[in-house]
Structure 1
Amino acid sequence: MRIVEVRASVHQIDGKLPVSGKPAGDTLRVVCEIETDAGLVGLGMTGRFLAHGTAAVINHHLAPAVMGLDPRRVEAVHARMAKLASERGRMSGINLAAMSCIDLACWDLWGKSTGQSVAQLLGGHADGAEVYVTFGFPTYDDDQLVEVARLLVAEGHHRLKVLVGTGHGGRADVRRVRKVREAVGDDVVLSIDANEGIPLEAAVAIARGVEALDIAWFEDPLRNCDARDMAELRRKTMIPLSAGQMDGHGSRFRDWLEHDALDICMPNSMYNGGMTETRRVASLAQIYNRPLSDAGGGGVFCLHHVAGFAHGTLAEVHLGADQVEAALFHKPPTPVNGRTTLPAGPGWGVELDRDRLRATRVQPT
């Protein structure tokens, strides 16, 4: 089986948050499809950052390099792209996002050609994963935040995540998290996420302010998540730390783990170079006895790595990103009573809605 065509396009899907009706954000996606001489088509996707630039890198630089390769030889395809994406040193940003798109499409093809899901190719530990819900967005006022939390618990969810460090101020962040805890009770798992937005001192203050609320993890707690600062924060709080959703390639995780700076590994194959890179991160996590989760709106793609590995724990449900999948896919996986089951088909197990794909396409200006 050989690659005969690679095409990438940009799509915008506008969603609204429940209760407030405000924009959900995270509206752009780069969709990549790879066709083979066997008639199979593989799907890859990446997110909103420099979307038109990412699509251009795929179409004009990476696609010609992988033409004629066997997509099932994912390490060979990945190595070919890596030489183009970065001549030396570490990669991040648009080059990793572009590689992610193609790599994910190759894993989809590998699965389809063998009749297996990507999770099965990774090891097939489980048929799905328990989930947590990212819902606590800064556009919600305190009352709306509490209302959405109660609605989610009523729907069967019992793991929730609230964003902090988003401009409300540290004391307001602590107040908002406390109100959610009071509203949902002690049996609901509650975590917080700073999206790499605050300095060490602010993160320490927030952590100390919410420690008594039984916080399950503090995600991306520091600006740039510097390994030394993460280790310092870890020494100053009892809350487990997690990171990796946007730049979680293998070298990044190695730094965190060697500095004893991380409790939970959260790679996202839409941004880190693809499932080939996530597989490397998963091996590191196993060696260091760290659980493997996901974050950053990776949806069905990250669900497969959480289900595939024995140390996979929780997959993310994201109130914004999940609306994108609901718009672009026929029958995307949805959670039931706090758990999402893998789709039944091979590869990712999802198929694009061609009508919606055409309707949402954004042409470069």
Structure 2
Amino acid sequence: MKISDVRASVHRFETRLPLIHNRPAGDPMRVCCEVETDEGHIGVGMSARFLCHGVAACVNHHLRPALVGMDPRNLEAIHARLQPIVSERGQASGINLAALSCVDLGLWDLIGKAAGRSVAQLLGGHRDHADVYVTFGFGAYDRDQLVAVARDLIARGHSRLKMLVGVAPGGIREDAERVRHLREALGEDVLIAIDANESLGLEDALQLARMLEDCGIAWFEDPLHRNDPRDMRLLRQRTSIPLSAGQMDGHSERFRHFLEHDAIDIFMPNSLFNGGMTETRRVAHLAQIYNRPLSDAGGGGIYCLHHVAGFRNGTLAEVHLGVEQVERQVFEHAPEAVNGRMHVPDAPGFGVTVDRDALKDSLVRGDD
């Protein structure tokens, strides 16, 4: 089996926030990468959000020529060939890493389809499902809207919720009041986590954590500017709230730095941005070695579901209200969470089939 073609394209999908229908629920852009073999297998991978046309161009003009003719199952050989292309020296980042991510995810999808196994099974097959949390608490909502959307999610069977901080016009004190209002409205039985999207300085993050320590916060995600491991360590030493990170640069070297500084509690790699499932597998093994739980953040959707289900230290997969809407458009019969749990699809690879009409309708050309 040999790779016969690799192609990437840019797509835009419309999303809307519940209650505020004129506001998008996250970034609408996706890069879709298809890897095809001479035996007719096609694997589909994705990346998202940043400089999408650059990512697609990197795949089409730089990675494709290196991949054609290779056996897609030889992942180490493939990465050895691609590494000097995406980064001649040091750790790849940005467009380079996103391009590698969508190609690698396409390879895993293809390998699973050829083998008749899901990616979760290829990773170890610990479970056929993952419990989920829902990212819903966007800054566009006022306090009462936060509660209304949360109660709707609870009525749909969810009991684990994540809201954003670092988004309130009044600063961290207002952030804390929003979180506390939600906790008081929902009671103690609902898991609440917070996510700053790397928006806070150390002192603000520390003050916010102190304000919320009596609210039973499950984790504080991406709390600091650039998630500097030294500052993350100081924050972790001064709060009882577990810290998590890994959404945008969650490659193995980054997690090694967190571990060397004793700066993190929960690993949250996202295969759409960190170099793909091959890199997430390295991160997962590192998490196992250091007895850290493995979760998911940043809109990985169906792709990240598989690493949470596949590894025995997997804990929670993310359901993001915007990503959920995108996946319902781009995939036929995309899996949905039922009573706070999402099952890995029975089909091989990532278990989903692309809606070709949706891809055609959502295509963004380079001059659009």
**TM-score over 0.5 for the alignment?**
yes
CA drift at 1:25 = 2.3
2:57 is matched with which residue? 56
Q: Report deviation, 1:346.
A: 0.2
Residue 4 of structure 2 corresponds to: 4
1:122-162 Cα distance to aligned partner (Å, 9 max, x none): 00000010000000000111111111011111111000001
Query: Retained in 1: the 8 A contact 2:242–2:264?
Result: yes
Give the length in aligned residue pairs. 365
Match of 2:304 among 297, 302, 305: 302
Residues in 2 aligned to 1:120 and 1:78: alpha-carbon distance in whole angstroms? 21
SS at match of 1:271: coil
d(CA) in 2 for partners of 1:80 and 1:138?
A: 43
Q: Matched residues in 2 for 1:128 and 1:95: separation?
A: 31
* Alignment partner of 1:278 is 2:291: no
2:167 equivalent in structure 1: 166
Measured on the aligned residues, the alpha-carbon RMSD in Å equals: 0.7
Structure 2 residue runs without a partner (length 5+): none
Measured against aligned partners, the alpha-carbon deviations of 1:186-242 in whole angstroms (never above 9, x if no partner) come to: 001110000011110110011111110000000000010010000000001000000
State the AA in 2 paired with 1:71.
P
Tell me, yes or no, if structure 1 residue 364 matches structure 2 residue 340: no
Distance in 2 between residues matched to 1:108 and 1:73, nearest whole Å? 14
1:195 aligns with 2:197: yes
| AA partner of residue 24 (structure 1) | A
Hey, what does 2:289 align to over in structure 1?
Answer: 287
Partner residue, 2:118 = 117
The equivalent position to 1:216 in structure 2, one of 195, 215, 218, is 218
- Structure 1 unaligned residues grouped into runs of 5+: none
Of residues 309, 323, 333, the one that matches 2:325 is 323
Q: Are 1:153 and 1:184, in contact at CA under 8 Å, matched by a contact in 2?
A: no
1:288-318 CA-to-partner distances (Å, cap 9, x unmatched) read 0000000000001000000000000000000
CA separation in 1, counterparts of 2:148 and 2:181? 11
Letter of the 1:10 counterpart: V
The question of whether the paired residues in 2 share the 8 Å contact of 1:58 and 1:98 is answered with yes
Query: Would the aligned equivalents of 2:30 and 2:52 in 1 still touch at CA under 8 Å?
Result: yes
Tell me the percent identity.
63
Tell me, in whole angstroms, the C-alpha distance in 2 between the residues paired with 1:63 and 1:140. Answer: 43
Does the Cα contact within 8 Å between 1:243 and 1:264 map onto a contact in 2? yes
Please state how far the C-alpha of 1:89 moved relative to its aligned partner.
Answer: 1.0
Match status 1:348 vs 2:353: no
Specify the alignment match of 2:47 in structure 1.
46
Cα distance in 1 for partners of 2:211, 2:152 equals 26
Name whichever of 336-345 and 140-149 sits farther off. 140-149
Residue 183 (structure 1) shift: 1.5
TM score, norm. by length of structure 1: 0.99
Distance 1:222 1:351 in 2: 38
Is 1:243 aligned to 2:235, yes or no?
no
- In 1, are the aligned partners of 2:46 and 2:101 still within 8 Å (CA)? yes
- Superposition misfits of 4+ residues, deviation over 2 angstroms: none
Which residue is 1:257 aligned to? 259
What is the rounded CA distance, in whole Å, between the counterparts of 1:154 and 1:2 in structure 2?
A: 48
Structure 2 counterpart of 1:50, one-letter code: L
Equivalent residue, structure 2, for 1:83: 84
1:106 aligned partner, one-letter code: L
Query: Is it true that 1:185 corresponds to 2:184 in the alignment?
Result: no
For 1:38-68, what per-residue CA distance to the aligned partner results, in whole angstroms no more than 9, with x for missing partners? 1100000001100000000000001111111
Alpha-carbon contact 1:77-1:103 (below 8 Å) kept: no
Offset of residue 167 of structure 1: 4.3
Contact 1:4–1:68 (Cα < 8 Å) also in 2:
yes
Residues 150 and 183 of structure 1 are in contact (CA less than 8 Å); yes or no, is this contact kept in structure 2?
no
Query: The residue matched to 1:82 in structure 2 has which SS?
Result: helix
3-state SS in 1 of match to 2:145: helix
Greater shift in the superposed pair: 348-357 or 75-84: 75-84
What is the CA–CA distance in structure 2 between the aligned matches of 1:60 and 1:321, rounded to whole Å?
28
Task: Give 1:354's aligned amino acid.
Answer: R
Contact 2:168–2:174, Cα closer than 8 Å, also in 1: no
Give me the whole-angstrom Cα distance separating, in 2, the residues matched to 1:193 and 1:270.
19
State the Cα distance separating 1:182 from its structure 2 match: 1.1
Which residue identity is paired with 1:291?
P
Q: What is the distance in 1 between the residues matched to 2:77 and 2:307?
A: 20
Counterparts of 2:360 and 2:159, CA distance in 1: 37
Quote the offset at 1:81 in angstroms: 1.3
- Asked if the contact 2:15–2:326 (Cα under 8 Å) also holds between the matched residues in 1, the reply is yes
The answer on whether the counterparts of 2:308 and 2:316 sit within 8 Å (CA) in structure 1 is yes
